[in-house]
Each structure stands twice: as C-alpha cells, then as structure tokens.
Amino acid sequence: MVINETQRFEMHLGLRNTRGDDVAGALMEHLPPSGRADVARVRDIVTGL
C-alpha cells in the first residue's frame, strides 16, 4: 500500500495525538519516504540501476 503525503501527514497527526511527539516522530522515521517504490532492492544496488 502506497500512501500519499496527505495521508502520511494525517497519520503523523494521529500518532502525535495518541502516542505523543517523540513516539510519533520515531515511528515516522522508520517509514520509507514516499512508499515502497523509493526503496532500493539488492539487485538495484548490485546492478547499479
């Protein structure tokens, strides 16, 4: 599932409201920037794509 920036922002707000700023920030740091399409695969690195 790929989320857009609006959904990402709303998720962050919800986390802040329920878990606090520190936990919300830590969880958001572990998400890919804008979905799985931006995550490099091993073959991308090995082949230099």
Residue 37 has a pLDDT of: 62
Range of the domain at 42: 5-47
With a CB cutoff of 8 Å and minimum separation 6, the contacts of 36 are 2
Domains identified in the chain, total number = 1
Q: What is the pLDDT of residues 1-49, one digit of tens each?
A: 677 888 889 999 999 999 999 999 999 888 766 655 666 777 777 765 5
